[in-house]
Structure 1
């Protein structure tokens, strides 16, 4: 009961925040690559932000791979679930793991 309340109220907020932060981390990293390519020195005080962003991107990338592999087992589109989970994070995995197997639900027992 409590999980269902959290799922309906908190999950949408986390999805939006996660998507915004991942897009920001990607943009931040692309800006860093551009600055390096034009020999612009970024202040060292910003290094912790880069490392936090890199950690988030790496963990979301791994979650996306896990979701893609698990989506194959659920007969879902692995690329779609992988990209969705990359942007959403752990909540995408939770949704995929808790999703009932539709193929088994449609099997009629005689």
Structure 2
């Protein structure tokens, strides 16, 4: 696994795909929360069936967002301890995931 992450092209590809998927996960969870908030019991609505696949994707997206948040907080703490910008490093790691965390820990 370590040899694969040493390849710059692979790391860049993982960062791009991870960033896109995190944005999609934020959108999925945001849309689900929006429908939950605006579902009023007082207004008659047309019953809609939500696909079980979509529900599984929303649950998976929420799990991924929580995991990436933990990684971002962890990287931010490492950067703060080094005297770097904790917010910048945390956000970068939130979007890039494990690759960003390994980069942060290597430069420690």
- TM-score tier by shorter-chain length is 0.7 to 0.9
The alpha-carbon deviation at position 5 of structure 1 amounts to 7.2
Kindly indicate whether structure 1 or structure 2 has the higher relative contact order, using CA contacts under 8 Å at least 6 residues apart: 2
Is the contact between residue 72 and residue 92 of structure 2 (CA under 8 Å) also seen in structure 1? yes
Aligned residues: 99
Q: Which runs of no fewer than 5 residues in structure 1 stay unpaired? A: 102-110
Q: Decide which moves more: 71-80 or 5-14.
A: 5-14
CA RMSD of aligned residues (A): 2.0
Q: Could you list the per-position Cα deviations for residues 50-72 of structure 1 after superposition, in whole angstroms to 9, with x for gaps in the alignment?
A: 11101100000000000000001
1:95 aligns to 2:103 (yes or no)? yes
Q: Out of 54, 75, 78, which is 1:67 matched to? A: 75
**What's the TM-score once normalised by structure 1's chain length?**
0.80
Instruction: Kindly report structure 1 stretches of 4+ aligned residues shifted beyond 6 Å.
Output: none
Is the contact between residue 66 and residue 82 of structure 1 (CA under 8 Å) also seen in structure 2? yes
Is the contact between residue 5 and residue 11 of structure 2 (CA under 8 Å) also seen in structure 1? no
Is the contact between residue 4 and residue 10 of structure 2 (CA under 8 Å) also seen in structure 1? no
- Residue of structure 1 equivalent to 2:50: 43
- Residue of structure 1 equivalent to 2:14: 14
| Structure 1 residue matching 2:33: 3-state secondary structure | helix
Q: Distance in 2 between matches of 1:27 and 1:20?
A: 11
Alpha-carbon distance change, 5 to 72 in structure 1, aligned in 2, over 3 angstroms: closer
**What's the TM-score once normalised by structure 2's chain length?**
0.82
